[in-house]
Structure 1
Amino acid sequence: MQEVKLGLEALKAFLDAEFPQVAEEFEILSVAPMRLRVALRVSERHLRPGGTVSGPTMFALADVGVYLAVLAMVGPKALAVTTSCSIDFMRKPPADKDLLADVEVLKLGRVLAVGDVRIFARGAEERPVARASLTYSIP
């Protein structure tokens, strides 16, 4: 089994240092080998007309989640980038709940990593609002 190279506190410090423009929106909740849980603090700026969290906001949560899960396994490689993403929006998330992303790294190679994400509204973890698959290129 592979070991975590960047734990919870190290990932938080990395996000604060490398992406201060968005770091306060995300809360890394747990880190384990090939798994991570992260929350997005939903605010009015994340909403679209109709009182729901926007698709780009859910994409950002999935993208940041896989990025952090990959970095947890490979170490601080700020230049890892998304090479592909597929996302399914399944339910309307409520505007008054933070979103949670459960991330699993399905494949971790030398140059590519593939992750799966399930996004839930906090307090309603039995019903995902979105599901995403992302591939990252590792420098």
Structure 2
Amino acid sequence: MDAAALNAFLASDFPQVANDYRVEAVDEAGLICRMIAGPQHLRPGGTVSGPSMFGLVDLAVYLLILSRIGPVGLAVTTNASIDFMRKPRAGRDLLVETRLLKLGRSLAVADGLVRAEGDEAILARASMTYSIPPRDR
């Protein structure tokens, strides 16, 4: 699936969050996803919340996997680890760059780096494992 197909999948299967996220690019190296940061993503103190950053990475890795295997709605997170390294400021979209480390028959492993738009400093680093449901043979 390319970026347009993944964005269409978001709009049809996840309309509740489709306006907050957009796949910017997908290629053989990985996927870049944008979180259009708004007031719903902020915590007290005017910073983007940790759960919002986690959600960005989780969704981006899911979409990265779908870019390889097609629209499998029941692929699910089985393990996740995230390190929050810097505090993101409000008013800037966040981008996550993901890469697939392993894609097997039943598990996929990927990582992601979160940055604020226009800034090279890494805000968070995450590792995700997804379970892929059995495919029809």
TM-score when normalising by structure 1? 0.94
Take 2:104 and 2:29, find their aligned partners in 1: how far apart are those partners? Answer: 12
Aligned to 1:129: 123
For structure 1, which runs of at least 5 residues remain unmatched after alignment?
A: 1-5
Q: SS where residue 129 of structure 1 aligns? A: strand
Specify which of 34, 37, 42 is matched with residue 37 of structure 2: 42
Q: In the TM superposition, what whole-angstrom CA distance separates every residue of 1:36-76 from its partner, at most 9, and x where no partner exists? A: 00000000110001110000000000000000000000111
How many Å apart are 1:34 and its aligned residue?
4.7
Instruction: Specify the code of the residue in structure 2 equivalent to 1:53.
Output: V
How well do the aligned residues superpose, as a CA RMSD in angstroms? 0.7
Q: SS where residue 20 of structure 1 aligns? A: coil
Aligned to 1:113: 108
Specify which of 51, 57, 68 is matched with residue 56 of structure 1: 51
Take 1:87 and 1:8, find their aligned partners in 2: how far apart are those partners? Answer: 25
For structure 2, which runs of at least 5 residues remain unmatched after alignment?
A: none
Q: SS where residue 73 of structure 2 aligns? A: coil
Specify which of 57, 71, 90 is matched with residue 76 of structure 1: 71
Aligned-pair identity in percent equals: 53
Tell me if the contact between 1:103 and 1:117 (Cα under 8 Å) persists in the aligned partners. yes
1:65-104 → structure 2 map (5 Å cutoff): 65-104=60-99
How many residues in Structure 1 have an aligned counterpart in Structure 2? Answer: 133
Aligned to 1:16: 11
How many Å apart are 1:109 and its aligned residue?
0.4
Q: SS where residue 96 of structure 1 aligns? A: coil
Instruction: Specify the code of the residue in structure 2 equivalent to 1:31.
Output: V
Runs (4 or more) in structure 1 with deviation over 2 Å come to none
Q: SS where residue 122 of structure 2 aligns? A: coil
Take 1:11 and 1:44, find their aligned partners in 2: how far apart are those partners? Answer: 25
